C-alpha cells in the first residue's frame, strides 16, 4: 500500500481555525492520508466532547474514539485500523504538519477546528518517532453551535 503524501498543502498558522470536511467512510486499498485524517476528525467532531487516540503497536495501528460527556469517560470504540507502520506514520505526519503547524515527529498544539458549522477547541498530543513511539491523542470540546 502506498500512501498519498501528507504534506501537499500549506500548513495554517496556529491562530487560524481549520475547516474539517465531512468524510464518513474510507474506501480503496490505498491510504490517502488527507482523507484518512478528515475521516478520523469527522468521527471525533460528531460529539460535544470526545477523545480520538491512535497507537501503532505489535504490527497494528488502531484508532479509537472515546466520548467524554459531562466530564465522564466513556468506553473506547475502534473506528479504524492500519496494518502498515509506514502508513500509520504518514497519517501522524499529516496531523503533525497540517494540524500542529509542522511538528512532524511529535509535540503539542492547541487548535480551533470547524466542522458542520460548529467550532471545537482541540488539544493535540503526538509522537511519531522510534524512541517515544507512534501515537496521537486529540481532545475536542464544542465551543460554539451554528
Query: Class assignment of domain 28-144?
Result: alpha beta
Q: What's the chain look like in SS3?
A: CCCECCCCCCCCCCCCCEECCCCCCCCCCCCEHHHHHHHHHHHHCCCCEEEEEEEEECCEEEEEEEECHHHCCCCEEEEEEECCHHHHHHHHHHHHHHHCCCCCCEEEEEEEEEECCEEEEEEEEEEEECCCEEEEEEEEEEEECC
Indicate yes or no: pTM above 0.85.
yes
- Checking if the pLDDT of 2 tops 60, the result is no
Q: Sketch the domain layout of the chain as residue ranges.
A: 28-144
Give mean pLDDT, residues 114-119.
Answer: 95
User: Binning pLDDT at 50, 70 and 90, where does residue 7 land?
Assistant: very low
User: pLDDT for 28-83, tens place per residue?
Assistant: 778 899 999 999 999 999 999 999 999 999 999 999 999 988 878 888 999 999 99
Of 8-22, 39-53, 73-87, 112-126, the poorest mean pLDDT is in 8-22
Q: What is the mean pLDDT of the chain?
A: 91
Distances in Å between the Cα of 25 and the Cα atoms of 22, 43, 50, 120 are: 9, 10, 19, 21
Amino acid at each position: 500500500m502506498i500512501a498519498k503524501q501528507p504534506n501537499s498543502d500549506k500548513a495554517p498558522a496556529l491562530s487560524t481555525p481549520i475547516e474539517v470536511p465531512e468524510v464518513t467512510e474510507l474506501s480503496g486499498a490505498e491510504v490517502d492520508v488527507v482523507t484518512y485524517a478528515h475521516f478520523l476528525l469527522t468521527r471525533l467532531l460528531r460529539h460535544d466532547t470526545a477523545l480520538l487516540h491512535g497507537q501503532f503497536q505489535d504490527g497494528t495501528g488502531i484508532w479509537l474514539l472515546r466520548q467524554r460527556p459531562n466530564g465522564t469517560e466513556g468506553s473506547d470504540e475502534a473506528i479504524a485500523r492500519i496494518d502498515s507502520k509506514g502508513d500509520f506514520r504518514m497519517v501522524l505526519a499529516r496531523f503533525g504538519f497540517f494540524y500542529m503547524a509542522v511538528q512532524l515527529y511529535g509535540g503539542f498544539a492547541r487548535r480551533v477546528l470547524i466542522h458542520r458549522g460548529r467550532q471545537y477547541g482541540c488539544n493535540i498530543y503526538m509522537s511519531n518517532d522510534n524512541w517515544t513511539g507512534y501515537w496521537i491523542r486529540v481532545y475536542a470540546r464544542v465551543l460554539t453551535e451554528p
